Structure 1
Amino acid sequence: MSTVLTKKQMTEEDIKLQYITPAIISKWDVRKITMETQVTDGKINLKGNFVFREKPKRADYILYMNANNPIAVIEAKDNKHSISHGLQQAMTYAQMLDLPFAYSSNGDGFAEHDFLTGKERVIGLDEFPSESELIERFKQESGMTSAQEAIIQQPYYSSQNTYPPRYYQRIAINRTVDAIARGQKRLLLVMATGTGKTYTAFQIVYRMLQSGMKRKILYLADRNILVDQSIQQDFAPLEKVIHKINVAKDDKNTITSHEVYFSLYQQLVGDDDKEHFSELFTPDFFDLIIVDECHRGSAKEESRWRKILEYFSSATQIGMTATPKETKYISNLSYFHDPVYSYSLKEGIEDGFLAPFRVINVMTDIGDGWRPRKGQRDISGNEIEDRIYTNSDYDYNIIIEDRIQQVALEITRYLKATDRMAKTIVFCATEDAAERMRQALVNLNADMVRKNPDYVVRITGSDDYGKKKLDYFISVASPYPVIATTSKLLSTGADCKMTKLIVLDEMIGSMTEFKQIIGRGTRLREKEGKTHFVVMDFRNVTRLFADPDWDGPIEINENFIPKKEITYGEGSDLTNVIKEPKVSYGNPKPIIDRDGCKVQIIHKTVSVYDTNGKLLRQESIVDYTKENIIGEYASLDNFIRQWSQEEKKEKIKEMLLERGIDLETMKKEQNMVDVDDFDFICHVAFDKKPLTRKERANNVKKRDFLSKYSGIARDVLEALLDKYMNTGIYEIEKTEILKLDPFLKLGKPAKIAGYFGGKSGYMQAVKELEKAIYTEEAV
């Protein structure tokens, strides 16, 4: 018979089962309670070259008014804690989930925090508020109107193919819908790229149409791809009521029969400033207008967006953006007012919904400046203007062929060391530079281009072939193109879900553009193998992270800033406007071949940013590894001694893996896969010349170690030495290896051990073999 536990002996799960859950379900419909609800996906961490996910955040209990609207969160603790011990944790979750009530319990009673009144109280276990009581309190304390009450009951769109909104999307939808119900006319939603702005807009539109609150809706964007993506993907359930405006074909008498209209603002206001919108629609036609990516102009008084918005001024207008400010001089906040909700890149990475990233900063020996020799001529025989050229000039005012070659070579090296099929966007200075980069990458990756000529494609505004390939590039299902060279076309909007490498080889014109470019990589696709992305910077533009508006205050380790800063020209204010490089027009740009200017990569650093945009560290992975190995072993002698003494060498590999050091990946990156981990560690941390496994195996044979054994025993050790040469030391330490070929041919494991006098004799022989492999003469 089992012993009955006292309340103090019970686990948290026991307390929930026997006390907290019964107290709640006696007052609430069980269908309006969820337990162990996952709120976030768990942050993805980049530790050295090792990637892992933290545990997701889960709420013990969430109570709901209806499917759309959670109202309270409850945090449970065991009875060793006080009733209110978990209240602050519950309050953190409630604030995150935008809930009015937070509770904690240890099974003796409940502690309550009411966010609407700011008051707290402790109540008995049987005094937990009923469903109707808590909902009524919420309505009264929040001053809810009948219009708000009606819309709050309106469900989201759901189907087998539509995922339920994430917590932040739910908040964005609910706050927007609620603000519209309260009569607010101008609203701003700020959501980082990759967090589902269009999906959020769809759910808002669906709720508005279903409730009858809005009947005619206009969705405005400035790129065809944004409109088409939205119609085909997130807005697909509304396809029967959608119309894409085409001013050349639309008849003003029949166009009014639809409910949701999509348009490019360029369609509604022509290049000649002709106001086509007034020809097709009356000023009061639309009830709701959604402006996608509204940072790209709607705030400027003279913009075409503003003309449209002012004409339809009676409509409710929602601005959606990933970047709330263009500059301190031009702000969409002045038009749409403060955001009803913001969800930043920082929060997206922290919650595990967006991909984290590392930055590889690559410096060339001409980055700080190159000056032509006296009277030096370009490849056309024209004299080159005598001045100092910097990163702001290359490809804009002068073309250094070897610089393009070295950038392409570095990109190719990186892809060869990691994944040659990783979707890559190379941002170039001009369309011409994008073509030169495409050619250089084609020639350096001829083996891949032979398999598929679309391995590298230029995708720019004037390149019709490339533009036709854009849909394939952004498709998760289509492997080609792999590398897209571009100028501006892919910097915003294009939904490149599988982008793993972003290469910056252009000067960035504004903080907004910089954030938009980074946004090309933030989408996560774990099932397809994308957990993070890399930014490779050849123009030192990633120092723009050092901007207070990035996503919070930035801390940069001063030791790692290059001594000579590369500037963008006089009067440049990095926190506000970054000036575009001055480009000379008229004369053809001088082109300098390799004989005229040979370029070298002189420095590379790897930076890992945390969720605040703060620089965690800036280092080469090799330096990070070296630091950790020396920190653990102090000296080469000590490492050799510990390696020799370690029964299972794999423990050392696992210890390093825990610190974010993946030896296999590092060896691949440095073309050293045939080197033993022992040698690789000695090489990286202690500058020892490495030997390959083959060289070590041959050294064992030269010293005639195997002559001590004869017959089958010798055959076994020879086979083990061959296995070591091909796969490494870890395999031969495992007794399971005897169940594989060629050992199987020699008999079962017990029989093989018998040739060494039993299992302990076999283990001793393996130890002696290892000792022979790592004897000092072979190091």
Structure 2
Amino acid sequence: MTASNFAHLEPDFPAVHAAATSAERLAMSEPEAAAILAGKAVELALGWAFAHDAGLTPPAQTGASRMINDPDLRTIMGQKVHAKARFINLVRNKSAHEGATLKPEGARQVVEELHHVLHWFGRTYARRQKPPEPNNFDPAPLTARADLVRDARRKIETTDRELAKRTEELEELRAKYASLDDELKAKRAEVAKARADQIADPHDYHEAETRLRFIDLLLAEAGWSDLKEGRDLEYRVEPMPNEKGHGVADYVLWGADGLPLAVVEAKRTRRDPAEGKRQAELYADALEAMHGRRPVIFYTNGYEHWIWDDARKIPPRRLGGFKTALELGEMIARRNDAKPLVSQTPKAAIAGRPYQTRALARIAEHFDGGSRKALLVMATGTGKTRTVVALVDMMVRAGLVKRALFLADRISLVRQARNAFAAHLPDSSPVNLVTDPPGTGRVYVSTYPTMMNLIDRADRSGRRFGPGHFDLVIIDEAHRSIYKRYRAIFEWFDSYLVGLTATPRDEVDRDTYRMFDLDPGHPTDFYGLEEAIEDDFLVPFDPISLPTRFMREGIRYDDLSDEEKDQWDELEWGEAGRREEVTAGEINTYLFNADTVDKVLAHLMTHGIRVNGGDRIGKTIIFAANKAHAKFIEDRFNAGWPSYGGTFARSIVHGESYAQSLIDSFSIAGKEPHIAISVDMLDTGVDVPEVLNLVFFKLVRSKTKFWQMVGRGTRLCPDLFGPGTRKTEFRIFDVCGNLEFFGSNPELSDPAVPKSLTERLIETRLKVVQAIDQTVSPHVSGEPAVTTKPDEVGLDLPGFSGERLAHF
């Protein structure tokens, strides 16, 4: 008898070994505990891989599901091993979170699958001791012993505490490794190379029962749990073009009317599921001849699943699992009820602008032509959300959509989307899943993490959001990081997919275009900032640069290689605003210098666009570097303008109580605060047409983020300066050299406008502080006006010489 199927793990991976052997020992006496420990062993193993393999990037959020769904890991593991890891995690979740009862035989199967996963893990990463070859699974160690039965529960608790401690140690080790020097990075790369260069794996991961276990589990999650031999399983169909004249379908899924809804052809795991495509098609022919209705076709190898409704001449497509009886019934009903999308006219009250109707027409042509994905690139403020609200309405009227999902990366954007659907399409009964997870409706809005958690969640009635639940998924602010981090969402649902982004067309990365099956640089439709301004749907900006010597030094985005630009764009430049040429101390000295902040605020209050006949500065957003910086700016404003009572300018940052209430107040014309000092709260997704001034008081080194921030001021606002006098421009006050950094702007390169914003930005509209012989602080009550010279303003003005302030 083998001492343990996992003995080879102990020298290199003691924590993984401990969890796996505990699962092995408890499988026959405490099956639910064994399943939980098996899942823990997979989680620890994958955690080690993400910490040490240079080919893997740790996911933003921890957890087994996040790691298992990582596309890079799936490539390294291979399809079969990946599916086994996913199977173990599914059973673990059912045992741990849903109170599901697991029989000892089920636990044995879980441990057997764990053996395959950890064989791959040890073979790939072990250095002291590789697993034996061949490494056949031995069920003997699973035999329950009397002494284990007596103290099983006590050992579960003890082991869990030990595993939690070792997990903490692993996290500490991961943090330590993340901070090591280039030598360690080279060693990690060497590990990845050794893994890539190893000989082909001769181990056979296939077990015939695995396919059936996995298919049965996914079918049960879709509500197909009570399957009977001879009708649901191994159902005889005829005629078939073979010698016998009949065949046996692996699965037939029946409707309440007694007619077939779907036929499932299952192939061995080592075979391509497409090998069953023709066989499944012939079974569908026979079922149609026998029962008068053609079923939907599924073909699968247990790990990879394809759906094909050939009656509608729609090509096969891959999905995450199987559909419910209701969803299959809706698919079959569309064969007769669905209408061409181009036949549906968009409602002008929802999206009636010419570029919106053009975008909807192009999506309709795209979808009617057989494609199921579309990407809209539209400048901030041009009504992307209203455009897709109109699209949902069109697809519902065409009979193509019953339920739609709108995904965004911020809670505030989810709230806005929900309000937009409620206002323009009230019959959709929109549900905000962030605040109302059990809610039901026809349109659901959610953040990506919330939806990932809801997909993973299931109860005894099945999985709530199965692969067929949504007919349309809309992705707001679509970009590469979302696909890399949350790609599993889009692979799970069998739906039309529409992406929205305000990123300039030439800045949309190639991976995003590939995600939507498009050629780079060619979205389904494009409407840029320059065109929107020329068409008078957005307002232009008046750029005022307040340059300093230190901000002008350093690297330019346009001087970087494409790879460096990708890495640069993916960095988070919020808290420290770090650049390699400037230390954190220099930045903090500059940003937190009272003299500098006072003069910037004075310039804003003197030269910012005003309302109420010039009596008050218009709505203004100041983009601060971090929370402390925002508070410092607010304090300096209150010190300089005490008559405003501390309510005119407010910092709005994450973690502050009732921050959203301040955003709501700022969004109301005429209501305080009139100056919002933001740290990442108002950078994107906030629609306040009254905004007239933006102050960039921080470094921004993502071109996408920069133009999203600029978009906070581009929206039209009628009657802002009185009846019949609308907003015609807004002002940007740039303290940190962002305007110069992004001097080349692809979005502003369309030839439709005679003189581009880039030309105005660089050639004619670049301004400096007009501080010569001007009064800069008349706002300080009880103090005389102070007349300053250019150098005393603390700004490095071109064309002037003299002493500069030391803190620059």
TM range (shorter): 0.3 to 0.5
Which of these two proteins has the greater Rg computed from alpha carbons?
Answer: 1
Question: Where is the helix percentage greater, Structure 1 or Structure 2?
Answer: 2
Higher relative contact order (CA 8 A, sep 6+): 1
